[in-house]
Structure 1
Amino acid sequence: MSIDAAPRNSTQLAPRLEHSAWLGWMEADPYPDLVAVSHGTDSPSGSAAVLSLVEEVARALDGITVHGAFVDVQRPRVEDLMASPTMNPGNRATLIPLLLSAGTHASKDLGAAAALRAGTTVAAPLGPDASLAAVMHRRLLQAGWVPGEAVIMACAGTTDPVGVNDCRTMAQLLAGSLQVPVTVAYISAEEPRLEDALAYARSHNPGRRTVVASYLLAPGHFAQMAAKCAPDVLSAPLLDSTQRPPKELVDIVVNRYHQSTKR
Structure 2
Amino acid sequence: MVPTMMLVADSSRDAHRREALCDLADAVARRGEAPVVSSFGTSDELESAVASVDGPLVVVPAFLAGSDRVSAELLAGLDLDQRFDACATPPLGAVPSIVGSLARRLGQAGWRPGDGVVLAADGAFDQDERQQLTSVARMLSRRVQSPVQVGYLDAWAPSVGDAVERLRRRGQRRVCVASWQLVDGAGHERLRELDATAVTAPLWPAGVVVDTLLSQHRAATARLAA
TM-score by length of 1: 0.76
Are 1:163 and 2:129 an aligned pair? yes
Aligned identity (percent) is: 27
CA RMSD of aligned residues (A): 2.4
Per the alignment, residue 252 of structure 1 pairs with 212
- Is 2:48 the counterpart of 1:80? yes
Matched, 1:221 2:181: no
Determine if the alignment matches structure 1 residue 198 to structure 2 residue 164.
Answer: yes
- 2:39 corresponding residue in structure 1: 69
CA, structure 1 residues 42+107, in 2 after alignment: closer, same or farther (shift >3 Å)?
closer
Point out the structure with the larger helix share: 2
Decide which structure has the larger Cα Rg and report it. Answer: 1
Matched residue of 2:156: which SS?
Answer: coil
Unaligned runs of 5+ in 1: 1-29, 240-244
Instruction: Indicate how the Cα distance of structure 1 residues 57 and 257 shifts in structure 2: closer, same or farther if over 3 A, else same.
Output: same
SS of alignment partner, residue 47 of structure 1: helix
Compute the displacement of 1:77 (Å): 2.7
Shift of 1:222: 1.2
What is the distance in 1 between the residues matched to 2:106 and 2:203? Answer: 11
Please give the alpha-carbon distance, in whole angstroms, between the structure 2 residues aligned to 1:107 and 1:224: 22
Q: Does 1:126 align with 2:99?
A: no
Any gaps of 5 or more consecutive residues in structure 2?
none
User: Could you tell me how far 1:47 is from its partner in structure 2?
Assistant: 2.4
TM-score normalized with structure 2 length: 0.87
Q: Within 5 Å, which residues of 2 pair with 1:38-187?
A: 38-40=9-11, 42-62=13-33, 64-70=34-40, 72=42, 77-84=45-52, 87=53, 89=54, 91-101=55-65, 105-106=71-72, 109-110=75-76, 112-115=78-81, 117-187=83-153
SS at match of 1:257: helix
Distance of 1:44 and 1:54 partners within structure 2: 15
**Secondary structure class of the residue paired with 2:124:** coil
Please tell me whether the aligned partners of residues 110 and 198 of structure 2 are also in contact (alpha carbons under 8 angstroms). Answer: yes
Give, in angstroms, the shift of residue 228 of structure 1.
2.5
Structure 1 position 204, deviation (Å) = 2.3
Count matched residues: 221
Aligned equivalents of 1:232 and 1:260: distance in 2? 40
Cα distance in 2, alignment partners of residues 50 and 116 from structure 1: 28
